[in-house]
Amino acid sequence: MPVNNNESSIAKNESLLIRVLLLSFSILLIAVSYPGSSLPLLVIIAVAPALVAVANLRPMFSAIILGFWAWVWWLIALWWGIPSLVNFTESSLLVSTLVIGLICFSLALPYALSAFIISYFKLWQSSLAFIHIPLCFTVFITAFSSILPAAPVNALFEYPVLLQWADVGGLPLLTFFYFIANTAIASIFINKKNKRVKPILVLLILIVTVLSYGYFRLTEQDTSATKLVRIGYLQPALSVNNNLSDLIAQTNQLNQLQQPPELIIWPEVPIDFSWQNNEYERYRIKSLAKKLNTHLFILPGYRYVNNENALSGHFNSANLISDKGENLAEYHKQILVPFFEYLPFSEQFKSYFPNVRNYVAGTKAVPFDFKGTILAPLICYEALFSSKVRPYVEEKADIIINPGNDGWFSTAGALSHLSLTLLRSIEYRMPLIRVNNSGVSTVIDQKGNILFDTLSPLGEKTEKVFEVKVTKQKSPTFYYRFSNILTVFAVLLLLILLVLRQRDLSANA
């Protein structure tokens, strides 16, 4: 008996060690495939080792382990948020670490819940495991996307051939495909040798499906009516020590070109100036537009909600100024960054975040009509949210304009932001112009291709002028028309499949 107990103890220790190694390997794969890293394609298999590690564990134990695993890799992915929060809001390192830790906890919850459901319903033994398991992750990740709508698949932003299905189902469908792949890979190692043919076949079918549609979309010739719009942007790399004069001086340089732009886009910058609430600064911007004889897309540093003082807060606004110096339209940012642009539970926490901004969210989309070309302004963070593009599609928008300032967020944060934003161009088949104070600034075409001749490196002070091809779409994408229905369908399908699975388990008990 002592020998048997010893052997049992050794086996348990070996099993635990294998699980720890698998979880660690999974985290390593995610770390080396993060946006901007040298091995982005490894993200395709990154979750599979973790799925193997928690297979066949009890529900609560499985949920805790996979939840902790997800929390750790989200911390690795969002580490840059801690120094950013310290520098921006002047909060302490401890407080900033707690905030980012809690955000990562909320992002890890879908993985914990999925692990619990998978174990409780014994989904690895289900004949529909390749639908059950990916559907769990997809539904829960989508449900918990109110702060950061993201999944590992976003790391593939440099490979648009893998992302073209976004015009059918957006990020949720890409997430579903991603977890089919990882479930199939994990199943090869979990199942017995005589049950490995099915996951290999599923994996091959998925590869063919994704690549064939991706190749078709990327090589498809567009026969819709097109026109070229000549646009310029500034990437000024400004700090809080700069002022409006620096923006004006750099804008003047664009007018020295043989073919000056018809529209110049300014990024979001860390300096305070106002179109609405400072008469002299408004005069200077008007004079600039008239002098250059061009339209300006600007982001004033503040706009008082009550038009008098800061007591009622500010709007984070964008304005379209005509070549005559007239304000043609004004948009107020609708989704604000928590703890940066506003403070949740401000009365309780304001002493911990002394420099947090007091912005007030806007309430509606405002399309900018630039000589018949409809621009869709989405300021910085809110371009991560696909739902904010939909009202612009209804207004027949032609180009998404995404000004921002990622200077607070380091290289990792800037590239993460780019990776999350890029999908909007594919989901709605609309070019996207990303103009950032310190980079990355670029144009992304309607197929998700980054146009490298328009790209400005991180941290570099520069300006670009280019022509954007504007295509009048014959009809909106499938994703635009049916995404809400697809979401409801996915939730109902998951519930129905789980009910049927429970009946099977009860019948076989």
**Residue 298 and residue 275 in contact, taking contact as beta carbons nearer than 8 Å:** yes
In a domain, 451, yes or no: yes
Answer yes or no: do 215 and 238 share one domain. Answer: no
Residue 309: band (very low, low, confident or very high) from pLDDT cuts 50, 70, 90: confident
Cα separations (Å) of 19 from 43, 56, 114, 502? 19, 11, 18, 28
Predicted confidence at residue 4, as pLDDT, reads: 60
Starting at the edge strand found earlier in the chain, the sheet holding 399-404 runs 368-370, 373-377, 399-404, 432-436, 441-444, 450-456
Task: Give the torsion through C-alpha atoms of 339, 345, 351, 355, to 10 deg.
Answer: 30
Question: What would the two tokens of residue 332 be?
Answer: 């107020």
Cα distance between residue 383 and residue 120, in whole Å: 37
Q: What confidence tens digit (pLDDT) does each residue in 238-275 have?
A: 998 999 999 999 999 887 777 889 999 999 999 989 99
Instruction: Please indicate, yes or no, if residue 4 is contained in any of the structural domains.
Output: no
DSSP state, 398?
-
Q: Are residues 409 and 298 in the same domain?
A: yes
- Per-residue confidence (pLDDT) for residue 348, from 0 to 100: 84
The answer on 234 and 208 residing in a single domain is no
How would residue 480 be classed by pLDDT, with cut points 50, 70 and 90? very high
What is the spatial distance between Cα 294 and Cα 285, in angstroms, rounded to a whole number?
A: 11
Strands 432-436 and 399-404, how do they pair? parallel
For 3-28, write each residue's pLDDT tens digit.
566 656 666 667 889 999 999 999 99
Give the tens place of pLDDT for each residue, 24-40. Answer: 999 999 999 988 888 99
Residue 156 domain-assigned (yes or no): yes
Interval 146-163 mean pLDDT: 93
Residues 6+ apart with CB under 8 A from 194: none
Compute, in degrees rounded to 10, the torsion defined by CA atoms 429, 435, 436, 441.
Answer: 70
Local confidence band at 144 (pLDDT 50, 70, 90 cut-offs):
very high
- 120, 243: one domain: no
Q: Are residues 234 and 180 in the same domain?
A: no
Please indicate, yes or no, if residue 3 is contained in any of the structural domains: no
What is the overall mean pLDDT for the chain?
92
Determine the pLDDT at residue 408: 78
Please determine, for residue 284, whether its predicted confidence score (pLDDT) is greater than 90: yes
What's the pLDDT tens digit per position in 434-459? Answer: 999 998 999 999 999 999 999 998 88
- The predicted pLDDT at position 301 comes to 77
pLDDT computed for residue 11 by the predictor: 61
Q: What is the helix (H) or strand (E) element at residue 232, kind and residue range? A: strand 226-235
Same domain for 143 and 274? no
Please say if the pLDDT value at position 312 is more than 90.
no
Is the pLDDT score of 475 beyond 90? no
- What pLDDT, on the 0 to 100 scale, is given for residue 6? 62
For the chain, what is the domain count? 2
- Give me the residue label for tokens 């007591």: 311
- Would you say 191 and 127 are in contact if contact means Cβ atoms under 8 Å apart? no
pLDDT over 90 at 303, yes or no: no
Prior bond to 440 cis, omega within 30? yes
Cβ atoms of residues 33 and 41 within 8 Å: yes
Token digits for 282? 């408004």
Burial 269-300 (b: 16+ CB within 10 A, else e): bbbebbbbbbeebbeebbebbeebebbbbbbb
What pLDDT, in 10s, does the model give residues 74-108? 999 999 999 999 988 899 999 999 999 999 999 99
CATH of the domain at 246: 3.60.110.10
216 and 256 both lie in a single domain: no
What gap in Å lies between CA 1 and CA 371, rounded to an integer? Answer: 87
Q: State the pLDDT at residue 457.
A: 87
Residues 354 and 401 in one domain: yes
pLDDT of residue 304: 84
Same domain for 356 and 471: yes
Phi, psi of 291 (to 5 degrees): -60, -45
| pLDDT score recorded for residue 332 | 95
User: Is the per-residue pLDDT at 123 higher than 60?
Assistant: yes
User: Is residue 105 in some structural domain?
Assistant: yes
Same domain, 152 and 213: yes
More confident residue, 385 or 257: 385
- Regarding whether 199 and 330 lie in a shared domain, the answer is no
Beta carbons of 161 and 207 less than 8 angstroms apart: no
pLDDT score for 409: 82
Is residue 16 included in any domain, yes or no?
yes
pLDDT tens-digit readout, 397-440: 999 999 999 887 878 888 999 999 999 999 999 999 999 999 89
Query: Kind of pairing, strands 226-235 and 263-265?
Result: parallel
Domain that holds residue 499: 12-220+490-508
Residues 6+ apart with CB under 8 A from 97: 82
Per the domain annotation, does 73 fall within a domain? yes
Question: Of all residues in the chain, what percent carry a pLDDT higher than 70?
Answer: 97
Q: Which of 48-57, 110-119, 452-461 has the lowest mean pLDDT?
A: 452-461
Sign of CA dihedral 45, 46, 48, 49: positive
**pLDDT given at position 10:** 63
Question: 124 and 25, same structural domain?
Answer: yes
